[in-house]
Amino acid sequence: MDLLVIENLKVTFQTPPEQVRAVDGVTLELKQAETLALVGETGCGKSTIALSILRLLPENADVRGKIIYRNNDLLLLPEKELAQLRGKDISLVMQNPALALNPVYSIGHQMTEPLIVHRRLKKPKAIQTAKNLLEKLHFKGPSNAIRAYPFEMSGGMKQRVLIGISVVLSPKIIIADEPTKGLDDRLREMVLKELRLVREMNRSSMIFISHDLNAAREISDRIAVMYAGEILESAATQEFFKEPLHPYSQALLESLPERGFKPIPGVSPSMIQPPRGCKFHPRCPDKKEMCSKQRPDFKRTKNRDVKCVLYS
Ligand SMILES: Nc1ncnc2c1ncn2[C@@H]1O[C@H](COP(=O)(O)OP(=O)(O)O)[C@@H](O)[C@H]1O
Ligand SMILES: [Mg+2]
């Protein structure tokens, strides 16, 4: 069953005299208890999708399309009702833990506040709940973590605390935006393990956003590959890694260190004046004449969706 459906989402940032087409017609479904990885190079529009879902985009963003959750279009919901969903139904693990945590409050305060406000727990009960959660996340000495302030913690620790805070209300959907960015291997594994754990604890669905394909492979059931604001291929994760179909997906996999580190030729496309036709055609080894003229549609083939004339 689909828990969240994004239909033809278009986000344009107005930066006069220019317009940045950050998301250009994205359609996606997130199923119950599924982890969907959203991958693609920096600047392709991943965070913009995450922020659209929770309506946290800045004023200069023009957002069109539909984001359906429980029969409601989140883009049309009154702000008050949407505020009720944030954290409780849908929560975001932000890209930058240093910015996401409030420097003037202890971790305990930041973890217990949602419990006190939304669940109406008394303070001691809220603190106990927070400690139990940190314990489940394998924190050594949860009592110390509860008393600590963000400045007393390392980057990796902050990221882990942030995961704790974002699931304290047992959300149905966790959106994790680059949660492993900048972490060393050990911490990266730890964060992935914790995300898996919190997902299983609540049988939550997750949108895992990353430019790290290996992390996506480890954690997701399904993967969607983004390029310049569009999804070019979506597939079951295992099948995708066995046989990527879109030339961009293939190039992306070949650029991985373990597959030869072959960089993708050319440069990332402009988000202001994207190439005509298929946006990947200037860099595509398989391009045909029509690729520069016509934007391909999605085709369902081999049990996945691909936007490429090779499969039409
Ligand atoms: N507030 C903004 N104003 C103008 N452009 C923006 C803004 N936020 C993001 N962008 C642009 O939108 C595009 C997509 O950004 P983003 O969603 O952050 O990409 P990703 O998360 O995949 O790295 C980029 O070209 C970025 O520069
Ligand atoms: Mg981002």
Q: Which of 200, 243, 238 is nearest to 222 (CA)?
A: 238
DSSP 8-state symbol, 86? B
Name the residue of 12, 42, 47 to mutate for ligand 1: max ligand atoms within 8 A of Cβ. Answer: 47
- Amino acid code (one letter) for 219: I
DSSP 8-state symbol, 101? S
Among 4-18, 48-62, 84-98, 222-236, name the one with the lowest average pLDDT.
Answer: 84-98
pLDDT band at 94 (very low <50, low <70, confident <90, very high): confident
Instruction: Say how far apart CA 39 and CA 216 lie, in whole Å.
Output: 8
- For 246-280, the DSSP string reads SHHHHHHHHTSGGGT--PPSS-PPPSSSPPSSSTT
Other beta carbons less than 10 A from residue 56's beta carbon: 14
- 8 Å CB contact between 50 and 92: yes
Instruction: Say how far apart CA 60 and CA 12 lie, in whole Å.
Output: 8
Q: Of all protein residues, whose CA lies closest to atom 24 belonging to ligand 1?
A: 43
> What are the pocket residues of ligand 1 if the criterion is a CB atom closer than 6 Å to any ligand atom?
13, 15, 20, 22, 40, 42-48, 58, 60, 271
Element at 240 (helix H, strand E): helix 237-242
Q: Of all protein residues, whose CA lies closest to atom 7 belonging to ligand 1?
A: 13
Report residue 30 as tokens. Answer: 């997130």
- In three-state secondary structure terms, 100 is helix
Domains of the chain: 2-96+205-311 (3.40.50.300)
Tell me the pLDDT tens digit for each residue of 261-309.
899 999 999 999 999 999 999 999 999 999 999 999 999 887 899 999 9
Tell me the pLDDT tens digit for each residue of 197-248.
999 998 999 999 999 999 999 999 999 999 999 999 999 999 999 999 999 9
Instruction: State percent of the chain over pLDDT 70.
Output: 100
- Predicted TM-score (pTM) of the model is 0.96
